[in-house]
Structure 1
């Protein structure tokens, strides 16, 4: 939007031509106006009824006649519809005798209307010639042309007909009073001229319609305010500030309320209506521990006690010792005045109030830290609870949802802060701890009352243990899930309960899957150790592999089931833990080869075949094979690698179900040209130093 468009949008009345919801289109379905003059192009509907009935639709010819069948032309140009009706009725009476006798009647109405050409000139947004319906008025013509432009007058819009002004239309009459008396119907070849404005002023501030207004000669500033809808409720009416442009410079004027009605505006004036001050002449405030805090009117000789009475008195939790009045001095600097609330209420002290005083009555509950107590351990809903006077441990347990099934009734501890104690250099105590027993029905058995910030701990019963289970699957007589009977139950005990091995079981291939973390302490300890190791690794892929292997649910643990069965309770016979899974396969008959062999595959197990023979059966080692690092993973999870004996590799024995792995040699990194150049330069420098030293020795 340009600056001209912005300024035009501020002019009062412009919204009529910018609002799309306003059209000012002429109503073509209304009754014909009495002053409407017929002209060429109009259509008349002549309806004869009574003893004779006939209807004619005729148009006014360019010569001004209408041709009625069996009658001939009748001249109607320039006549109103009523005048045309009388003339046509007189002519029709010559052929319809019933008209004179009163038995036949004639009705003449306007059918379709003609179009007219109107010229809009002067200070108009889109000047030019417009084709309009013959019922169009001045307002219709203004709307289709966009209305007055930035310099156009809204109060002096002339209609010129045959070279003479016939109307002077004032849009403000319509905007202020809805008066359209000068909004005449236009005729063909009329000229609508919008004159430039003569006086415009701007009114802003606390008026209902701030805008730029056009002023006619003889109107005062009060008329401008009336056009703007008057003052708002927050306006300061005693004086209006004005900015006026003189011949050389600007001027500021202060217009009093008595001068507004007679003050003559000058074009370019800017008037500003101030708002009232945001302050109260007789307000006092009270807040805090009273029943009805808020704002009250200041009365003569009013005291704090009077204000408290108006607020319905103080609450029960009000601090009686001290309250404060916050006030402003004469120079608006803040100050305060404290008083004893108890003395004021009893009449021993009187505190007078001033305008804008704020009385604050403090609550005893708000003057200290929020009192809470904590309960943790074996309760259903541990956490913090609001302290209440005379609260006991049993009450707090009830508030926490009662005891859990694992709670011990024999040892409940309460830790208490040390508060309000005199300082002693030899005293090192930082908390008071009390221990006592409770009953399962939570009947009070001691007089121990809780204090703010106490922490209650309900311990777990040392004999309480939830059911733990292990599973055994595979080649046993009774596979399935078994509950652990005692903390000392071993694998051999589980094998007896499962009925022992089946005949086709392969005991050497038995394995144990155990949870990575046995309890929370194991988890935290292992994570801390691994974090130190992660920080030493440079390759992020190595870190991800290690983390995924540790965080998986179960890990493989190799066991020697044959040794366990032969020697129950030996070092091979491990204690069972929650979630253990023992897998016992059928007798295995294959060996799997992986890695750097020419044809990795699964082969039949043969106890007479050695490690080297299995490799030869897979095509032998590849050129990239790292032979001395080869290893075997047995069916039970045990791993054995190759060993170096003198100058020869000693490979592990292969058993049924084993997996043979031959790793790949690491890639040798060749020296770059910069590295080779650096080494060469270093050697040359070292040689030069040696030669220099030898020369000095000689």
Structure 2
């Protein structure tokens, strides 16, 4: 007992001696850059610096290194006091935050860039120095005190035991013996133990494996981020701890990390060699009591360049810009060759100590002597071409082409082949490359659809007549209108830089005439010019020069697609389609236009917003007027019905119908309006309908056979007349040509505007409910009136009906 206590005191005294001996190392003020001494290191005595808690020390460093030594001593005693099975493992220690150095701040103030020392990103930001139970062990690992060994012996003797090597290097196996294993390599452990036990036993087999390894205590000193005593894995090397517990501090060197053993420097490690060359020069395995000394950083130079290579580099004597570029790994190909800026200190000028020097790239590499505190700025090479003319836009091959003396537009665009884009041939080839199974996959699999660029070919999209993946029948429209963009022959432009005024000038020309050799349009080009060819979609060309493709369907003799000349009208395209069929109903002729559909869609969105506000107001009013639970439930039900109605309206797709002024009894093409058609118009002539629909608040909704001479009220009579809750003053009729007649259009007081009106084939007669008595219908009718204003009245009526 007395010997144990005495040994403990001796161990504690030895640790204190080590700390006192190395105290001057921690007390030294870092020598750093001239003019960049950390203000926390000024005006302090050695004792103050030793006991204080500067920003670059852990929060628990205030207890001093002696506290750490005591903790380590207690940990060592636990091996003896508690037994090998309860051996204390190294505890996790947080790394302190790495503060910015004054040189980093200086570089930021001068360049606007926050640069970090090269190699910082490779260091661990969050240290957890714990012993990994399953960490791989090198075959050359030497057994040491504290290592755990799992021994299994079978045969003449039976042993299955886990033991820990004691401080004397001995391994005790119960009922077998004690054997000296310290220094034995891991690869030889089985052989060694077998030989030792064979001295006493025969006819047995043995297997020994390493378990938890012991930790070794080392000291980290000098310009370290976390100086002090640390416990690391017994497999640790000098290089491994530099990335963890022995990281260089703010003014620490990445290139001068020394391993001191017994007061002698046995290895010096350069982190740059490992990071850039992959070389572990002078790396050594650590032993208990080793000191890792982080030297003072050498000359530091900031490399200011675009990209991740920008950093602060530490230079050794005789190293220059070429060495920095090698270390940084920068791509030198893109560096500007005519200008390198070096900002440094001029010690001879105390008033303005900073100076800048401009050198060529080659001279900076070979002659510039970089000094501590320099900032080197490198520029990327200029993108300017000396002899290039750029062709872009609606052309076959947008690219830069070499300029030559006397080059003109016709030299750059010699023929029309230069204006046919490759997408045309791609789409043309897809016309005969159809496979139903693959096409279905191409439109249903989002990944395939994106990779195959289905939207460009437009050959396998969903149509009204088929399912997704079926080939479109309307390939003629795609072939003529969509596969090849129409060229704007009257306008192309040259962009030219005016170097005197430093502004871009636009020089327009007629492309057709230029390619024909017209001297006034076949302009001479200069190096640096950009020539842009436009399509009809880029800058809309006059309608008289547009290719107009019209789709004609229904009751004509030859339905199909027809290309019309400028100025041709609705009548002309019907003639091209072979004229009217016998059962054609001209009054119901339907003309849809894409531009009208777009405009209607915009108006629909505005109408929906107004309708939503109306519904919210109506619902709030109904809820406020409810005086019973039944009224409240009814109001909630009405709100649901109104919301569903609004959702149906939201799903409607405007068709872009143009209402035509055609007489109901029109029979010939000459009676069609002379309306000029545009590209994409669709003309549909229905057959003569033989029915009239009566909808709404009537006793018998239905479709009734058309009888010539019958009036609107005759059909209302067939439906039983207006119901009790009907608003007979608001009856309206939707005609086959898209127009609407209503009871409120009468010019005589108290006489319906529909009185005496003849019913026409295809009419839809609607009788609304009295909105004064039915608040739900009132709201829906008000919304329907909004949609009449954007040409969606019939759809709104159908939505109410649903």
TM-score range with shorter-chain normalisation? 0.5 to 0.7
Distance in 2 (alpha carbons) for counterparts of 1:56 and 1:120: 37
| SS of alignment partner, residue 466 of structure 1 | strand
Distance in 2 (alpha carbons) for counterparts of 1:70 and 1:410: 110
Q: Deviations over 1:217-276 (max 9, x none)?
A: 222111111111122653324432222133342221223333314533322222222012
| Matches for 1:648-659 after TM superposition, within 5 Å | none
C-alpha displacement at 1:336, in angstroms? Answer: 5.4
TM-score by length of 2: 0.46
Establish whether residue 356 from structure 1 lines up as the match of residue 528 from structure 2: yes
| Matches for 1:95-134 after TM superposition, within 5 Å | 113-134=213-234
Is the contact between residue 662 and residue 671 of structure 2 (CA under 8 Å) also seen in structure 1? no
1:388 to 543, 551, 564: 564
Distance in 1 (alpha carbons) for counterparts of 2:165 and 2:206: 18
Establish whether residue 167 from structure 1 lines up as the match of residue 267 from structure 2: yes
1:551 to 765, 768, 778: 778
Structure 2 unaligned segments of length 5 or more: list them.
1-96, 106-113, 421-484, 592-660, 733-739, 750-770, 782-802
C-alpha displacement at 1:201, in angstroms? Answer: 1.7
Query: Structure 1 residues 515, 220: closer, same or farther in 2, change over 3 A?
Result: same
C-alpha displacement at 1:303, in angstroms? Answer: 2.3
Counterpart in 2 of 1:183? 283
Is the contact between residue 131 and residue 213 of structure 2 (CA under 8 Å) also seen in structure 1? no
Is the contact between residue 284 and residue 296 of structure 1 (CA under 8 Å) also seen in structure 2? yes
| Matches for 1:565-576 after TM superposition, within 5 Å | none
Counterpart in 1 of 2:609? none
Is the contact between residue 219 and residue 229 of structure 2 (CA under 8 Å) also seen in structure 1? yes
1:327 to 496, 512, 523: 496
Q: Deviations over 1:157-180 (max 9, x none)?
A: 122222222221221111112222
| SS of alignment partner, residue 31 of structure 1 | coil
Of 108-117 and 87-96, deviating more is: 87-96
Is the contact between residue 139 and residue 185 of structure 2 (CA under 8 Å) also seen in structure 1? no
1:215 to 315, 325, 333: 315
Distance in 1 (alpha carbons) for counterparts of 2:245 and 2:526: 64
Is the contact between residue 379 and residue 397 of structure 1 (CA under 8 Å) also seen in structure 2? no
Distance in 2 (alpha carbons) for counterparts of 1:284 and 1:480: 73
Distance in 2 (alpha carbons) for counterparts of 1:204 and 1:89: 63
Counterpart in 1 of 2:730? 517
Distance in 2 (alpha carbons) for counterparts of 1:553 and 1:211: 69
| Matches for 1:270-285 after TM superposition, within 5 Å | 270-285=375-390
Distance in 1 (alpha carbons) for counterparts of 2:725 and 2:198: 128
Q: Deviations over 1:126-163 (max 9, x none)?
A: 33322222212224433442722222221111222222
C-alpha displacement at 1:286, in angstroms? Answer: 3.6
Is the contact between residue 206 and residue 274 of structure 1 (CA under 8 Å) also seen in structure 2? yes
Establish whether residue 255 from structure 1 lines up as the match of residue 359 from structure 2: yes
| SS of alignment partner, residue 417 of structure 2 | coil
| Matches for 1:578-657 after TM superposition, within 5 Å | none
Establish whether residue 241 from structure 1 lines up as the match of residue 341 from structure 2: yes
C-alpha displacement at 1:108, in angstroms? Answer: 8.8
Distance in 1 (alpha carbons) for counterparts of 2:588 and 2:703: 32
Distance in 1 (alpha carbons) for counterparts of 2:186 and 2:535: 88
C-alpha displacement at 1:200, in angstroms? Answer: 1.6
Greater fraction of residues in helix: 2
Distance in 2 (alpha carbons) for counterparts of 1:340 and 1:105: 97
Q: Deviations over 1:509-564 (max 9, x none)?
A: x97954340226657779xx9xxxxxxxxxxxxxx97995993899xxxxxxxxxx
| SS of alignment partner, residue 324 of structure 2 | helix
Is the contact between residue 327 and residue 334 of structure 1 (CA under 8 Å) also seen in structure 2? yes
Is the contact between residue 201 and residue 268 of structure 1 (CA under 8 Å) also seen in structure 2? yes
| SS of alignment partner, residue 123 of structure 2 | helix
| SS of alignment partner, residue 274 of structure 2 | helix
Is the contact between residue 241 and residue 252 of structure 1 (CA under 8 Å) also seen in structure 2? yes
Is the contact between residue 388 and residue 402 of structure 2 (CA under 8 Å) also seen in structure 1? yes
C-alpha displacement at 1:117, in angstroms? Answer: 1.2
C-alpha displacement at 1:55, in angstroms? Answer: 9.9
Counterpart in 2 of 1:591? none
For the aligned residue pairs, the C-alpha RMSD in angstroms reads: 6.3
Distance in 1 (alpha carbons) for counterparts of 2:306 and 2:697: 87
Distance in 2 (alpha carbons) for counterparts of 1:59 and 1:146: 28
Query: Structure 1 residues 120, 472: closer, same or farther in 2, change over 3 A?
Result: closer
Q: Deviations over 1:328-369 (max 9, x none)?
A: 344244445566666654556364321122345567894315
Distance in 2 (alpha carbons) for counterparts of 1:124 and 1:14: 13
Is the contact between residue 389 and residue 526 of structure 2 (CA under 8 Å) also seen in structure 1? yes
Distance in 2 (alpha carbons) for counterparts of 1:318 and 1:288: 10
Establish whether residue 466 from structure 1 lines up as the match of residue 692 from structure 2: yes
Establish whether residue 367 from structure 1 lines up as the match of residue 541 from structure 2: yes
Counterpart in 2 of 1:297? 402
TM-score by length of 1: 0.52
1:29 to 120, 125, 136: 136
Distance in 2 (alpha carbons) for counterparts of 1:67 and 1:407: 111
Aligned residues: 485
Counterpart in 2 of 1:681? none
Query: Structure 1 residues 552, 321: closer, same or farther in 2, change over 3 A?
Result: closer
Is the contact between residue 48 and residue 55 of structure 1 (CA under 8 Å) also seen in structure 2? yes
Counterpart in 2 of 1:693? none
C-alpha displacement at 1:307, in angstroms? Answer: 0.7
Distance in 2 (alpha carbons) for counterparts of 1:325 and 1:159: 69
| SS of alignment partner, residue 334 of structure 2 | coil
| Matches for 1:360-439 after TM superposition, within 5 Å | 360=532, 366-369=540-543, 388-389=564-565, 392-393=570-571, 395=573, 407=585, 439=667
Counterpart in 2 of 1:41? 146
| Matches for 1:69-84 after TM superposition, within 5 Å | none
Is the contact between residue 555 and residue 686 of structure 2 (CA under 8 Å) also seen in structure 1? no
